[in-house]
Amino acid sequence: MKIMVTGGAGFIGSHVVDMYLENGHEVVVIDNLSTGKIQNINPGAVFYQHDIRNKSMKGIFEKEKPDIVNHHAAQIDLRYSTENPGVDAEINILGSMKLLELSLQFNVRKFIFISSGGAIYGEPKYLPCDETHPVKPLSPYGAGKYAVELYLYLYKQNFGLDYTILRYANVYGPRQDPYGEAGVVAIFCGQMRENSPVTINGSGEQVRDFVYVTDCAAANLIALKHGSGAAYNLGSGAGTSINQIFETLKHINRYHLEPVYGPEKKGETFKIYLDIQKASKELKWVPDIDLEEGLQKTAQFFY
């Protein structure tokens, strides 16, 4: 199959591209390189440096005629979305709708959409959060992700466009940006590598669900043929505090400084982890890389 991966030069998207190519598929990468990196792009893929909002996207669809659209491109910074909700909506909602329209126009078989297993649920009513948990996002980013999920449902009902939604937990691993606003594992590794002070936002007792990047890539491979019209949580099924992440990486990296605690981020939930039973039953997906092994692999990449 020919698969168009938006955001295919990014941290997660580039791993998805690699896995698709390794399994014999043709891949077209769309990325404006605002956060993606040219060195992440697999040379086996066709690359277009384009923004998904541009009118020129129609010409790319017309030329490449993808069977599948895998939509990873997004504004991913929760803090930025809170400060700039209009820009966040323009990229994450209107950009996604443009891709949906082009998918219909050029007879795309299926649309794989990357949503959030943390930001859409808000502060949990119960743990672990399953896919039927109430949706109460605390950030424009979370609201935008869920808005696109609703559009996918109506596009399937009204126009027959098939889809699968993958709701990621906190993804970490090689190629994550250690200088970005998101991705605590990469940020900590980058600061430890430079022997700089590590800043923890808030108390550090915030709990997150961490999942290794190649496990998410594997789910994207499965979603090519399975999961029609459904949403799936992807995570570890367990919660880990930010302080625990710091202590584990401190040991792995032989880092000797104590953390510096800063103000908490607005728009973030305090404690969340995901129920992954639906993905396990319906997609036959379970994560292969446990947290200790994943943190070791990530630290090795940064050193």
CB within 8 Å of 257: residues ≥ 6 apart: 195, 197, 198
List 20, 121, 141, 172, catalytic entry: 141
Q: What is the CB neighbour count within 10 angstroms for residue 228? A: 12
DSSP annotation of 4:
E
For the chain, how many residues are written? 303
Among this protein's residues, is 141 annotated catalytic?
Answer: yes
Name the β-bridge partners of 155: none
Residues 6+ apart with CB under 8 A from 229: 153, 156, 162, 163, 164
Strands (E), 132-208: 162-168, 170-172, 199-201, 207-208
Residues forming the active site = 141
